[in-house]
Amino acid sequence: MDEQQENLNEVVQDAAAEDGATNEPDVMPEEAAVQQDERREHSATRTEDATDTVERVAESCGTEWYEQIIARLDGIDQLIAQRLQYDDVKEKVIDRQHAELAELREGLKRDLMRPMLYDLAQTLDDMRKAKESYATQGVDAAVDVIDDIEGMLVYLLEKNDVEQVMSAEGDPFTSKQRMLKTVPTPDAAKAKTVAASVAPGYMWGEEPLFKEKVHVYKFVPSEPADAQLETETTNDAAATPADVQSFGEPQGMTPPSNL
């Protein structure tokens, strides 16, 4: 671009010098006039060339400047996009770390409280057994005292989001319960359902802190009436002769001597 500017300056200086020469007094002969015409034509040509060069340089400068502006704007757009992406990633990292910290704090709290709450639930179960024992012995005063203590312990558990649960007959048996024994039933619809709730359970949120103790129905098909009759007939046929001696002559008896 600098070389084009220098060429342009030389062309302008040459044109100005030739124009100055043509302004001198006309004291030249005919040949000088011809040479002057040629110089004028040459000057006009040089002027046109200079104009084209100027236009070309202006166009070139405008194009390069425009491209430089576009390139710089693109660079700014990329920087802004990178900054926004960095801010998004930074925000996501902060949110994830905050969630992990909250989860860790909650898990630590549950780990510290769980043994204490479990001991309370275990104590309630032991008191239930003691109350049943006193009730069979007719010690009503002890039963009343145990009821009061049970109420206080249940209240302590409820303050720590522990819920006492008891199933009704027919409720499905789940892994949150503890089966003590099975109860046979000929009804297939009752299979794997609760027959009776023996002791309450305690739920800490979704976690079974102390499992409920239950009896569970077990399907046992009943024998048909024909099978029972056949079984009785088989048992009768297997009787020994000694079982029916009463229908014959008694053994070991001799006729009277006078006959």
Q: Which two tokens stand for residue 192?
A: 């794997």
pLDDT at 136: 85
Is residue 19 scored above 90 in pLDDT? no
Is residue 186 scored above 80 in pLDDT? yes
For the chain, how are helix, strand and coil distributed in percent, rounded to 5?
A: 65, 15, 20
First to last CA, the chain: 168
- Angle, in degrees to the nearest 10, between helices 140-159 and 30-137: 180
Average pLDDT taken over every residue of the chain: 75
The CATH code for residues 125-223 is 2.30.22.10
Greatest Cα pair distance, the chain, in angstroms, is 211
Domain ranges for the chain: 2-21+30-72, 125-223
Distances in Å between the Cα of 56 and the Cα atoms of 5, 45, 171 are 11, 16, 94
What average pLDDT score do residues 170-182 get?
92
Q: What's the pTM? A: 0.47
**Sign (positive/negative) of CA torsion 248, 253, 254, 259?**
negative
Q: Percent of the chain scored above 90 by pLDDT?
A: 19
**Are the C-beta atoms of residues 176 and 203 closer than 8 Å to each other?**
yes
What is the rounded distance in angstroms from the CA atom of residue 230 to the CA atom of residue 7?
Answer: 130
Which tens digits make up the pLDDT trace of 148-173?
A: 888 889 888 998 889 999 999 999 99
pLDDT at 200: 92
What average pLDDT score do residues 214-239 get?
68
**Are the C-beta atoms of residues 216 and 193 closer than 8 Å to each other?**
yes
Which tens digits make up the pLDDT trace of 92-113?
A: 888 888 888 887 877 787 888 8
